[in-house]
Amino acid sequence: MIEPSAFILGLRQALGFANIIALISGTIIGIIVGILPGMGPMVGMVILLPFSYYLPPTVALSLLLGIYCGGYFGGGIPAVLIRTPGVPSSIMTSLDGYPLTKKGEGQLALSATVVGSFSGGIISVLILILLAPIMAKVAVNFGPAEYFMVAVFGLVVMVMAHLGRIFQAILLTCLGLWFSTVGFDGQTMVVRFTFGTVMLRNGLEIAPMCLGFFGIGQSLLLLERQILETDDMSISLSSNNLDFSKVIYAFKHRLTLIKSGIIGTFVGILPGAGSILGSFLSYQEAKRSSRHPEKFGKGAPEGCMAAEAGNNAVPAGAMLPLLTLGIPGDPIAAILISIFIVNGIYPGPLLLIKEPELINSIYVSLFLVNIIGFILIIFFLRTFSMVVKFPNKLLAISIMVLCLVGLYTFNLRVFDMIVALVMGILGYLMLRMEWPFVTWVLGLVLGPIIEQRMRESLSLSRGNPAIFIQSPICITLLIASILVIVLPLLKKRTNKL
Amino acid sequence: MPEEKERMNQNSALHDLFMAILGGFAFLMLIFTPYIIGEPAANYPFYKGPEIFPIIILSIMTLSSLPAFYRLIRVKDKEKRWYLDGKGFPLLPLKILLTLIIVFLIGFIYIGLELACFLFFIAAMYLIGYRLWWKLILYPTIYTLFILVLFKYMLDIYFPEPLIFSLWGG
């Protein structure tokens, strides 16, 4: 499964000084952006994206993985202390965490949250290590038609996850797909949709688009929020570190932790499903199998554990389709794909064979991120929690400047800053209107994969679209896509009746 | 409650207007795609040419905006409600955005990174409510120094010479 020599090389790379520094700083930044309501790991990652291009791939990935996982670690803290989830998926944690805090059991709630995050993260990495070679073996047999169908399935899942806003989701997905077509067409070298602009010939790059959309757009939204003036945290947290007896108590709920970690990982593997679903399903399962389901929602520590284990298992789960198929499972994984591509590494089934060192160093880094996050929160809980009191508006203008200057360093072009500003305005409007903007990101990232594989398939079949229903894998994916579309619609109809 | 809010947002004519604008744009692109991409595309069969994918996605975009067009046309003006999200006009973000464009972006080209960053911070902090003069000087100074050290000295990034210098130099 794992070659010992490759594992040792990967381990050596992961334990290198630069890598450890990147992991620690990434996790600290991740926890901070996770704690700050309205920020989240996505914003943290896009701010550091331009810097990461200067780093070796393993160090850059460690930095971003630190933010990715650290964000979910941090998101649960304000959910428990002030009922304000730092990341949307921590909303399930607040259902039981906040009532526990109100009862004076803040330490127990936080211990359950941190232990949940840690266990979910570790379980999901183990599943990733176990499943990645199997999935890569299956994916080796994939032709362009299969890749096309997997990517389309990802988009279908993502769109259907926003059933209440389905037309907006379709529009935004297609807008992302269309943006990906701007510039030189790689297969024919024909220029598309540049409207005579030389700057657009290389296409719209993901960095300015995402930095604008998430960095500037989110900052503009942050300007409208009030500073969280609360003393709840000072009351709830009498010391800087967590009570170890409560941490040990939380670890005793092994079954809940393992089940939630597994659920979260599989939700992460599913392209487009996201951490909110992971957290929700884990919580529901913990409630269903509990001896005291009536306690859920009123202050059950298992609720916090399950929700956090479910959402922190998603990052490693999302790495599975990314590493083995080259298809990101969620928008944050889509950001990671750009790090690979900038360094000339193309994720796919051959990555496990060609770059065993890198793969193993990613596995070890994912382990370390969870351990570092766990230790940091246990010992510096109060320090981190106070971050929530930082003036939002000042933070927002600082992020805007950091985004724009950071972006300039990427290509040394003012044009990228203009693109980011335009995308920032668009992002702000989408965020305020609560449109499902994540579908736009996935469309943007999956666009080139879908187009290339579609045209390759059609070239092989001389234009016959039947190629998309010829192999068993394609048929399975087609049926799965149809079910994903039809089942929720049927359920909605039945509920109305 | 969230469902009610969602329904409220769905009913807002502004949402339909945005969808219609995107759909209208997609429709225009769809019509003009053969002209925009031009003659080189004719050298390839349609199924492997550069037009097939944009045409498919622009068609889906146009189709998915049709319900919004329908609602905009069918619903009577009196019944239409125009709001972004019910939280009022975004005056502060608009002011900050304009300051960012005028002071920072244009300033970046004409007066250089350092001065543009410093002035933007003073202006933006004033707009968000800071009035104490020492705060208006201290924070922009610290932040500008941070940006300078990080980008110019640590990452060794080349920033363009302020245009105003060349204008003075003739």
pLDDT tens by residue, A198-220: 888 888 888 788 888 888 888 88
Question: What are the boundaries of each domain within chain A?
Answer: 4-496
- Between A177, A223, A409, which is nearest B151 by CB? A409
Residue A236 has pLDDT above 60, yes or no: no
Tell me, letter by letter, the H, E, C secondary structure of A347-383: CCCCHHHHCHHHHHHHHHHHHHHHHHHHHHHHHHHHH
B27 touches chain A (CB under 8 A): no
- Give the pair of three-digit tokens for residue B94: 């608009």
Asked if B139 and A394 come within 8 Å (Cβ–Cβ), the reply is: yes
Predicted TM-score (pTM) of the model is: 0.82
A168 pLDDT more than 80: yes
Q: A294-350: per-residue pLDDT in tens?
A: 888 888 899 999 999 998 998 888 888 888 888 776 777 877 877 777 777 778 777
Contacts of A171 in chain B (CB under 8 A): 19, 22-23, 61, 64-65
What is the ipTM, given to two decimal places? 0.86
Q: What average pLDDT does chain B have?
A: 83
Backbone torsions φ then ψ of A65, nearest 5 degrees: -65, -35
pLDDT score at A235:
46
pLDDT of residue A340: 77
Structural element, H or E, at residue A184: strand A183-184
List, for residues A178-195, the tens digit of each pLDDT value: 999 999 888 888 888 888
Please tell me which of the candidates B50, B105, B143 has its beta carbon nearest to residue A192: B50
The domain spans of chain B are 2-79, 91-168
Using CA atoms of A385, A387, A388, A394 in order, give the dihedral in degrees to the nearest 10: 180
Q: Which pLDDT score, from 0 to 100, does residue A240 have?
A: 65
Contact yes or no for A192 and B36 at CB 8 A: yes
Q: How many residues does chain B have?
A: 170
Angle between helices A40-52 and A392-411 (to 10 degrees): 30
* Among candidate residues A174, A140, A131, A143, the one with its CA nearest the CA of residue A156: A174
Given this model, what pLDDT does residue A391 score? 82
A223/B96 touch (CB, cutoff 8 Å), yes or no: yes
User: In B, residues 58-117, which contact A (CB 8 Å cutoff)?
Assistant: 58, 60-61, 64-65, 67-68, 84-85, 87, 90, 92-93, 96-97, 100-101, 104-105, 108-109, 113, 117
CB atoms B67 and A167 under 8 Å: yes
**Residue in A174, A432, A462 closest to B61 by CB:** A174
pLDDT at B59: 96
Q: Identify the pLDDT of residue B136.
A: 93
CB B117 within 8 A of CB B125: no
Looking at chain A, which residue has its C-alpha nearest residue B26?
A175
Percent of chain A having pLDDT more than 70?
Answer: 95
Tell me, what DSSP letter sits at residue A469? G
Q: A330: distance to nearest CA of chain B, Å? A: 21
Residue pLDDT, tens place only, B85-134: 666 777 888 888 888 888 899 999 899 999 999 999 999 999 988 999 99
- Residue A223 confidence (pLDDT): 84
Please check whether residue A223 touches B, CB under 8 A. Answer: yes
